[in-house]
Amino acid sequence: MNSHILLIEDDLELAKLVEDFLQHEGYQVTHCGNALKARKVLLAQGFDLIVCDVMLPGSNGFDLVRQIRQQFKGPILFMTAVTSVAAQLEGLQLGAQDYLLKPLDPRILLAKVRIFLSEAHSAQTTGDVLQQANLHIDKRSATVSVAGEELSLTDAELQLLITLTENYAVVVSRERLFREQLGREYDGADRTFDGRASRLRKKLQAADNKWNIRNIWGKGYCITYNANEAGTE
């Protein structure tokens, strides 16, 4: 599944150049020309990384990042013509991973995107926190939220969600789940995980119906997030 990048840039010519370049490299890119539209898009879709200008119409990039930083846990790169040291320090203090100065060779931007997406993926899959789109799982505190809304899950549902999220968009077999989470072999008829997956799906979709846990007949289960349509069984 291609990483999804949100590009926030009011220079349409530059935005088109960056968007085309990153798409050619295999990334999915959504472009917004102002902060208001970007906030709306962030609520509706899941993103892996944000590239944000500082000087935007209406609200500037610094204010936007202050507003979304609790909601969006992925990497943020500022890409701007504002070159002062004070501005660079402010951007980094807001939690941005880098502050890139225009004019910028798109190959440098691509290298930065690859580095920070790789680091984010490693942190998401090996640490105490898992993040996919607007789903946030803190394994240490056993808390789960979707789009900022905390979910009430049983221990069994949480365990299933963690396994599926760690294997995002990949089918996890029933055989594996029975061995790892129930300590026994799957007999070919036990529907324990069908019930757990169904209950977990309903709880996720109550917070954001673009989440789905698919029951793949004869194989297992797969969690996905589709920003373009509501989830179904």
3-class secondary-structure state, position 186: coil
Q: Quick one: DSSP state of residue 46?
A: -
Question: Given a cut of 90, is residue 125 above it in pLDDT?
Answer: no
pLDDT attached to residue 154: 94
Residue 122 pLDDT level (bands cut at 50, 70, 90): low
Distance of CA 165 to the CA centre of its chain: 11
Taking CA atoms, 173 is separated from 110, 127, 167, in Å, by 35, 23, 11
Asked if 146 and 93 sit in the same domain, the reply is: no
Asked if 153 and 200 sit in the same domain, the reply is: yes
Is this prediction's pTM over 0.95? no
Query: Residues 134, 208: contact at Cβ < 8 Å?
Result: yes
Asked if 114 and 148 sit in the same domain, the reply is: no
Asked if 187 and 151 sit in the same domain, the reply is: yes
- Domain for residue 232, yes or no? no
pLDDT digits (tens, 9 = 90+) for 65-75: 998 877 787 89
Question: Given a cut of 90, is residue 227 above it in pLDDT?
Answer: no
Last residue in a domain, options 101, 126, 151: 126
Distance of CA 9 to the CA centre of its chain: 20
Residue 22 pLDDT level (bands cut at 50, 70, 90): very high
Asked if 65 and 139 sit in the same domain, the reply is: no
Question: Given a cut of 60, is residue 231 above it in pLDDT?
Answer: no
Question: Given a cut of 80, is residue 44 above it in pLDDT?
Answer: no
Least confident of 39-48, 104-113, 115-124, 194-203: 115-124
Give me the domain span that covers residue 120.
4-126
pLDDT digits (tens, 9 = 90+) for 134-155: 898 988 888 999 988 999 999 9
pLDDT attached to residue 69: 78
Asked if 121 and 135 sit in the same domain, the reply is: no
Query: Residues 100, 76: contact at Cβ < 8 Å?
Result: no
Question: Given a cut of 80, is residue 119 above it in pLDDT?
Answer: no
Which residue blocks in 139-185 are alpha helix, DSSP H?
A: 155-166, 174-177
pLDDT attached to residue 167: 86
pLDDT attached to residue 123: 55
pLDDT attached to residue 150: 92
Query: Mean pLDDT score of the chain, rounded to an integer?
Result: 88
Give mean pLDDT, residues 26-40.
93
pLDDT digits (tens, 9 = 90+) for 146-200: 988 999 999 999 999 999 998 888 889 999 999 899 988 999 889 999 999 999 9
Last residue in a domain, options 99, 126, 153: 126
Assign residue 95 the CATH number of its domain: 3.40.50.2300
pLDDT attached to residue 18: 95
- Domain for residue 233, yes or no? no
pLDDT attached to residue 126: 52
Number of domains in the chain: 2
**CB within 8 Å of 178: residues ≥ 6 apart:** 184, 185, 186, 190, 192, 193
Asked if 143 and 217 sit in the same domain, the reply is: yes
Asked if 80 and 190 sit in the same domain, the reply is: no
pLDDT digits (tens, 9 = 90+) for 74-115: 899 999 999 999 999 999 988 899 999 999 999 999 999 998
Give mean pLDDT, residues 124-142.
80
